[in-house]
Amino acid sequence: MSVDFENLRRLMMADRSVRRFKEEEKVSVSTLEKLVELTRYTHSGRNAQPLRYSLVTSDSLRAKVFPLLKWAGYFPEWDGPEEGERPAAYIIQCLDTHFGPDCLCDDGLQLEAISLGMRTLGLSGCIIKAFDAATLRIVLGLESRYVPRYVLAVGYPAEEVKIEDMSGKDDADFKYYRSADEVHHVPKRPLSELLLK
């Protein structure tokens, strides 16, 4: 099978974290299922495939999940998107501890697969690690064997996100920021800094 490298590169460049959404544009459960289905094809440590997913689309459940999330570590004064700009859905990634205490590399690989899939459908998201896992487990009615690892906020983007080249900038100047025009900027290191000589 032939896969076009440049198309993949463009897709990855377009796949940015988005924190403000067109909340009124709904995302169906079938769309979320289609995205989770992509995880079946990712690499898996020991091939244990220990991750499971809880899908949230209803207004009532979304309202319970939202306050459990922390949205942007570099914007401590920001409590997350306002009503009307909140995610239309959530995908909650959980570890099934029946298969062991960790998932090795599986979590990141599967989140990337879902995120890239979202971009092909015109969706965007934000992968959230900072959240109240204990309360989320109760809200979702999860058995104790399922441990929430990440929350992926999903929706149609309501903000512009641009990649910035860090070439020539201070090595520690990697924090994302919003400019006065409300564009979200994400500095990325150049290839020359990623390669060890």
Model pLDDT for residues 8-20, shown as the tens digit of each residue: 999 999 999 999 9
Give domain status of residue 3, yes or no.
Answer: no
Do 64 and 97 belong to one domain? yes
Domain that residue 116 falls in: 8-159
| 22 and 117 inside one domain | yes
- How confident is the model over 67-122, as pLDDT tens digits? 999 999 999 999 999 999 999 999 999 999 999 999 999 999 999 999 999 999 99
Based on the fold, state whether residues 58 and 69 are members of the same structural domain.
Answer: yes
pLDDT in tens, 145-175: 999 999 999 999 999 999 999 988 888 789 9
Give the H/E segment covering residue 139.
helix 133-140
Q: What is the pLDDT confidence band of residue 1, given thresholds at 50, 70 and 90?
A: confident
Q: Calculate mean pLDDT across residues 58-65.
A: 98
- The CA-to-CA distance between both ends of the chain, in Å, stands at 34
Do both 46 and 123 map to the same domain? Answer: yes
State how far the Cα of 47 lies from the Cα of 93, in Å rounded to an integer.
17
Q: Are residues 107 and 40 in the same domain?
A: yes
User: Which residues, in sequence order, are CB contacts of 27 under 8 Å at separation 6+?
Assistant: 57, 88, 89, 123, 154, 155, 156
Number of domains in the chain: 2
Q: Average pLDDT, whole number, for the chain? A: 96
Predicted local distance difference test score (pLDDT) of residue 168: 84
- Shared domain for 107 and 129, answered yes or no, is yes
Neighbours of 33 (CB within 10 A): 12
Residue 97 included in any domain: yes
On whether the CB atoms of residues 68 and 134 are closer than 8 A, the answer is no
